[in-house]
């Protein structure tokens, strides 16, 4: 019995639902009493409650993460939970790609959790936040463990539904609109994916993930065109979650309005679900051989490169920090997708590496943004001048992360981009052989262009920038004197971990590279 590998799915889900229910009941009580002001006792009870919530969340997450790591790293397993219909089980399987995904999710989720204990004090409604946070974790683990396309699709939809409340957490009109946008884009994408699944179910016979694909060539013969359309629809559809053109518009809308830990996991992990979906579809169901050299591959590559470029351009022009990071995500995820679309082992290795690296880096960057916002209440980049004086550690971490993302050796981003470029050059994909690396290079330059100015301005604001005169809310008058405004260690530590990892992966990449190559060689 391998049922225990599902503990990290159900335990957080149960805990999440429990938290949501308690949040609900609390609201009901409040609304019933028609009370606006609270007594002292209530406030105290509240903070005691908060402690309990934190402990519960931390405990559940720790246990789940531990179990999930144990589950995935103790060899391949499979478990069929129940049969939805004949031939369509809810089926979970641990395999190499899933192992990588689960590990990344568990690490990032735990790190960000610690950060949000501190951060969410500013936002309120913790029960709801942590409820959905835990639910999201369970769903993501399930996504990593899913062993066939239908199971995957189920959790893919649930992921949208559980992450949407994270986006609208602060309840302003803007965030509600953004969350609806997120929801509808994701749904649209999911349905396009489902359209393809319908066809694959017929022409594959099974939807179980099989390395190298499982298309039934006898059935395919006369229906090649239809299947290509179906697969293309899946690519575009799953691309929605990964922020690929043309369905990327939700991303810059949703990220800035979400609380920073939520944007961190959204950008770091949840968008990767789109990439994982494509990986699973193309390499484990359809089979890369079927696509190689078809119009679908070319259009896909074009779209990804276009996204890489456009994302970077938009990030470069964007003054709002979190929005800039969001555009950056748009661009960076399409690096991964470009790697997937090349259909060569090296490019796939690069894509997998970039998945891991980008997860770490982008999470870290959003955590930084969260710190900036909570500590000085500013969202636009031009207001961050001189911030390095007050938060040297934070900005230091940010600098490391930026370098990693740009791809300056020896930081991690360099490794993945190297493999991507190599893969592109090796692929017999005509004009994309040189166009791919060129675009990657331009995008890297743009990345430097939109990340580094903050570092420079932060550390060297220049004489004419008067940071001290700002009498706005969070910046007290002492700020100008350079007094430290560093956040608590709960917030700083996760950020530091991300930053360190981003560099360490670059210096000691070999185990990871080998692992990625192992995956790539299995499917190609």
Partner 1 sequence: MNAIIMIIVVLTPMIAGVLVPVLPFRNRRQMMFYIEGAVILTSALVISMLVNPPSDSLILFRFTGDLSVSFRLDGLGTVFAGMVALLWPLAVLYSFEYMEQEKKEKYFFAFYIIAYGVTLGVALAEDILTMYFFFEMLSLVTLPLIMYTLTSEAVQASRTYFYYMVGGAAFAFIGMIFILNYGTTSVFVPGGVLDMAKVGEKTDMLLVIYVLCFCGFSVKTAMWPMSSWLPKAGVAPTPVTALLHAVAVVKTGAFTVMRITYYSFGTELIRGTWAQNLLMTLVIITIVYGCSRALKETHFKRRLAWSTVSNLSYVLFGVVLMSPLGLIGALCHMVFHAVMKICAFFCAGAVIEKTGRTYIYELDGFGRKMPKVFVAFTLSSLALMGVPGLCGFISKWNLAKAAVASENPLAYVGAAALLVSALLTAIYMLTISVRAFFPGRDFDYETIRDVEDPGWMMLLPLAFFAAAMFYFGLHPQTILNVFESIGAVMP
Residues that bind partner 1 (CB under 8 A): 24, 27-28, 31, 34, 82-86, 88, 150, 153-154, 157-158, 161, 168, 170-173, 176, 179-180, 183-184, 187-188, 191-192, 194-195, 198-199, 201-202, 223, 226
CB of 149 to partner 1, least distance (A): 11
Coil, helix or strand at residue 484: coil
CA dihedral 167→172→173→174, nearest 10 degrees, is -60
CB of 346 to partner 1, least distance (A): 35
CB-neighbour burial class of residue 111 (10 A; exposed 0-12, middle 13-18, buried 19+): buried
* Tokens standing for residue 357: 């690296």
Whole-number minimum distance, CB 280 to partner 1, in Å? Answer: 16
How many angstroms from the chain centroid is the CA of residue 475?
Answer: 31
Our CB check for partner 1 shows the closer of 152 and 505 to be: 152
Minimum Å distance from CB 57 to partner 1?
Answer: 22
Nearer to partner 1, 201 or 418 (CB): 201
Quote the CA–CA distance of 166 and 344 in Å, as a whole number: 37
Q: Minimal distance in Å, beta carbon 90 to partner 1? A: 8
CB of 183 to partner 1, least distance (A): 6
For residues 31 and 511, which CB has a smaller minimum distance to partner 1 in the complex?
31
Given a contact cutoff of 8 angstroms between Cβ atoms, the answer to whether 67 and 103 are in contact is no
Token duo for residue 284: 């484990």
Burial class (CB in 10 A: 0-12, 13-18, 19+), 418: middle
Nearest to 143 by CA among 248, 285, 277: 277
Any idea what DSSP says for residue 73?
H
Instruction: Take residue 224 and report the two structure tokens written for it.
Output: 């090649």
Alpha carbon 193 to chain centroid, angstroms = 19
119 closest CA partner among 260, 265, 16, 323: 260
Distance in Å, CB of 124 to partner 1, minimum: 9
Q: How far is the CB of 189 from partner 1 (least distance, A)?
A: 10
Q: Shortest distance, CB of residue 221 to partner 1, whole angstroms? A: 12
User: Cβ closer to partner 1: 101 or 182?
Assistant: 182
Question: Residue 235 corresponds to which tokens in the numbers above?
Answer: 């690519």
Q: What's the DSSP call for residue 381?
A: G
**For residue 21, how many other CB atoms are within 10 A of its CB?**
12
Minimum CB–partner distance for residue 464 and partner 1 (Å): 38
- Residue 202 or 433 with smaller CB distance to partner 1: 202
For partner 1, the closer CB: 33 or 463: 33
Angle at 193 between CA 188 and CA 300, to 5 degrees: 100
Task: Indicate the residue among 124 and 428 with the shorter CB distance to partner 1.
Answer: 124
Judged by beta carbon, residue 13 or residue 356, the one nearer partner 1 is 13
Which one, 188 or 320, has the nearer CB to partner 1? 188
If the CB atoms of residues 23 and 260 are measured against partner 1, the closer one turns out to be 23
Give the HSE-up count for residue 152: Cα atoms under 13 Å, Cβ half-sphere: 28
Q: Helix or strand or coil: residue 483? A: coil
Q: How far apart are CA 512 and CA 449, in angstroms?
A: 29
Q: How far is the CB of 8 from partner 1 (least distance, A)?
A: 19
Q: Which is nearer to partner 1, 227 or 347 (CB)?
A: 227
From the number of C-beta atoms within 10 Å of its C-beta (0-12, 13-18, 19+), residue 244 rates as buried
Quote helix, strand, coil % in the chain, to nearest 5: 80, 5, 20
- Distance in angstroms (rounded) separating the CA atoms of residues 83 and 325: 42
């Amino acid at each position: 019995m391998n049922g225990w590998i599902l503990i990290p799915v159900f335990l957080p889900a149960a805990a999440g639902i429990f938290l949501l229910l308690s949040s609900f009941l609390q609201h009901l009580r409040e609304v019933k009493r028609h009370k606006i002001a609270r007594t002292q006792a209530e406030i105290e009870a509240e903070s005691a409650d908060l402690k309990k919530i934190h402990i519960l969340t931390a405990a559940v997450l720790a246990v789940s993460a531990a179990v999930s790591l144990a589950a995935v790293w103790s060899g391949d397993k499979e478990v069929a939970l129940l049969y939805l219909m004949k031939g369509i089980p809810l089926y979970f399987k641990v395999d190499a790609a899933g192992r990588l995904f689960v590990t990344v999710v568990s690490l990032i989720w735990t790190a960000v959790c610690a950060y949000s204990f501190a951060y969410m004090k500013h936002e309120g409604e913790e029960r709801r936040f942590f409820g959905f946070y835990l639910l999201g974790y369970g769903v993501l683990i399930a996504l990593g463990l899913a062993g066939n396309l239908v199971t995957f699709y189920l959790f893919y939809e649930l992921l949208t539904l559980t992450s949407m409340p994270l986006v609208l957490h602060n309840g302003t009109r803007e965030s509600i609109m953004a969350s609806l946008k997120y929801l509808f884009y994701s749904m649209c994408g999911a349905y396009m994916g489902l359209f393809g699944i319908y066809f694959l179910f017929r022409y594959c016979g099974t939807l179980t993930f099989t390395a190298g694909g499982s298309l039934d060539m006898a059935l395919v013969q006369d229906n090649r065109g239809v299947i290509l359309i179906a697969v293309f629809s899946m690519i575009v559809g799953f691309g929605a979650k990964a922020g690929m053109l043309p369905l990327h518009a939700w991303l810059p809308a949703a990220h800035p309005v979400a609380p920073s830990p939520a944007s961190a996991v959204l950008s770091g992990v949840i968008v990767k679900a789109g990439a994982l979906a494509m990986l699973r579809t193309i390499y484990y169901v359809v089979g890369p051989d079927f696509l190689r050299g078809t119009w679908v591959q070319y259009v896909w590559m074009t779209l990804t490169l276009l996204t890489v470029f456009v994302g970077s351009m938009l990030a470069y022009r964007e003054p709002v920090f979190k929005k800039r990071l969001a555009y950056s995500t748009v661009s960076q995820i399409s690096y991964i997708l470009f790697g997937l679309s090349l259909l060569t082992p090296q490019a796939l290795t690069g894509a997998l590496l970039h998945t891991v690296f980008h997860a770490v880096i982008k999470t870290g960057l959003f955590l930084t943004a969260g710190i900036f916002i909570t500590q000085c209440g500013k969202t636009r980049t031009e207001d961050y001048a001189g911030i390095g004086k007050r938060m040297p550690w934070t900005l230091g971490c940010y600098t490391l992360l930026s370098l990693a993302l740009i791809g300056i050796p020896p930081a991690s981003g360099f490794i993945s981009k190297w493999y991507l470029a190599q893969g592109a050059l090796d692929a017999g994909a005509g004009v994309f052989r040189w166009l791919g690396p060129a675009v990657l290079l331009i995008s890297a330059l743009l990345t430097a262009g939109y990340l580094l100015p903050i570092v420079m301005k932060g550390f060297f604001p220049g004489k004419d920038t008067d940071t001290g005169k700002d009498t706005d809310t969070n910046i007290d008058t002492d700020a100008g004197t350079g007094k430290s405004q560093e956040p608590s260690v709960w917030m700083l530590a996760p950020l530091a971990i991300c930053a360190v990892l981003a560099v360490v992966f670059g210096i000691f990449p070999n185990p990871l590279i080998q692992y990625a190559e192992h995956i790539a060689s299995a499917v190609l």
